[in-house]
Amino acid sequence: MADDTTARRAEPVDEFEREPVPERARLGFSSFVGQYAGEHTAGTELMIGPLFIASGVSAIDVVGGLFAGNLLAVLSWMFLTAPIAVRARLTLYFQLEKICGRTLVTAYNLANGVMFCFLAGAMVTVNATAAGLWFDIAMPGLNDVYPDSAGWVVTVLVMGALMTVVAAYGYRVVARIANIAAPWMVLVFVAYGIIGARQLGIDSVGEFWPKAQEFIWTGGEPLAGRAKFTFWHVMFFAWFCNMAMHIGMADLSVFRYARKSWYAAGTAAGMYLGHFIAWLSASILYAHQLHVTPDNTAVLPGPLAYNAAGIAGVLCVIVAGWTTANPTIYRAGLAFQAISPSSSRYRVTLLTGAVATVAGLFPAIAMKLLDFVALYGLVLMPMGAVVFVDFWLAGRFGFRSRYAEASGVSINWAAALAWVLTLAGCLAVVNMGGLQIYFVGLPGWFVAAFLYIVLSRLVQRKEVRS
Amino acid sequence: MKRAAQLVSLAALAGTIVPPALYFTGNLALDAAKWWMLVAAVAWFAATPAWMDR
The tens digit of pLDDT for each residue in A19-74 reads: 899 999 898 998 888 888 877 888 889 889 999 999 999 999 999 999 999 999 99
Chain A positions touching B20 (Cβ under 8 A) are 190-191, 194-195, 309
| pLDDT of amino acid A464 | 57
Longest dimension (CA), chain A: 74
8 Å CB contact between A126 and A47: yes
CA distances from A78 to A115, A164, A255, A257, A317 (A): 25, 34, 10, 14, 30
> Which of A238, A213, A267, A227 minimizes the C-alpha distance to A82?
A267
What angle, 0 to 180 degrees and rounded to 10, lies between the N-to-C axes of helices A150-169 and A102-131? Answer: 130
Which residues touch A298 (CB under 8 Å, ≥6 apart)? Answer: A139, A140, A141, A142
Residues of chain A with Cβ-Cβ distance to B53 below 8 Å are 176, 179-180
At A63-105, the pLDDT tens digits run 999 999 999 999 999 999 999 999 999 988 899 999 999 999 9
CB contact under 8 A, B34 and A310: yes
Distance CA A243, CA A237 (A): 9
Q: How confident is the model at residue A306 (pLDDT cuts 50, 70, 90)?
A: very high
DSSP reduced 3-state for B28: coil
pLDDT for A8: 43
> Does residue A400 register a pLDDT over 60?
yes
DSSP B40: H
B41:A315 CB<8 A: yes
**Per-residue pLDDT tens over the stretch A318-374:** 998 888 888 788 878 877 877 777 888 788 889 999 999 999 999 999 888 888 989
Q: Which of A241, A215, A210, A279 is nearest to A51 (CA)?
A: A279
CA-based nearest distance A28→chain B, Å: 16
A contacts of B48 (beta carbons < 8 Å)? 180, 184
B29 at the A interface (CB within 8 A)?
Answer: no
Out of B25, B35, B37, name the one closest to residue A191 (CB). B37
The interface predicted TM-score of the complex, written ipTM, equals 0.97
Would an 8 Å CB–CB cutoff place B48 in contact with chain A? yes
- Beta carbons of A312 and B44 less than 8 Å apart: no
Quick one: pLDDT band at residue A5, thresholds 50, 70, 90? very low
- Cβ partners under 8 Å of residue A128, min gap 6: A152, A155, A156, A159, A302, A360
In angstroms, what separates the C-alpha of A342 from chain B's closest C-alpha? Answer: 33
pLDDT tens across A235-285, in order? 999 999 999 999 999 899 889 999 999 999 999 999 999 999 999 999 999
Enter the pTM of the model.
0.89
Given B31, B41, B48, which is nearest A312 (Cβ)?
Answer: B41
